[in-house]
């Protein structure tokens, strides 16, 4: 475990509540917690450092005691990790993407 803690990144990726960030954030939390055997105390500190924006606002009242770590993760998953939210967000971004014009290949490049 000690070697895992030294080899593995201790900090979590920033999570602001964007649905497309959820999978990376959640996987990093689970993987590092298991590999390094992080306690709820350590995970609370890690969560306090990495959460921003909507995500932090959603769980702010829970970020006070280590016993809340499972509830924090459940709340984040319920609000930001649902497949329909992720897919919906990706659809909105795809619809907002620039349409490439057949006779203007330079419309593919964002200057």
pLDDT digits (tens, 9 = 90+) for 74-101: 999 999 988 777 677 777 777 777 776 6
Q: Which pLDDT value is given to residue 24?
A: 95
| Residue 106: per-residue pLDDT | 66
pLDDT at 17: 95
Residue 58: what pLDDT? 97
Structure tokens at 67: 């016993």
Residue 26 or 3, more confident: 26
pLDDT for the residue 33: 97
pTM metric for this prediction: 0.74
Per the prediction, the chain carries an average pLDDT of 86
Q: To which H or E segment does residue 4 belong?
A: helix 2-7
């Amino acid at each position: 475990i000690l070697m895992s803690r030294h080899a593995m990144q201790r900090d979590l990726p920033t999570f602001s509540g964007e649905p497309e960030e959820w999978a990376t954030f959640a996987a990093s939390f689970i993987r590092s917690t298991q590999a390094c055997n992080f306690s709820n105390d350590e995970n609370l500190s890690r969560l306090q450092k990495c959460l921003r924006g909507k995500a932090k606002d959603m769980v702010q009242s829970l970020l006070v005691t280590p016993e809340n770590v499972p509830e924090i993760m459940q709340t984040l998953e319920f609000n930001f990790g649902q497949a329909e939210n992720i897919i919906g967000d990706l659809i909105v971004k795809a619809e907002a993407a620039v349409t490439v014009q057949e006779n203007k290949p330079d419309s593919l490049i964002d200057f």
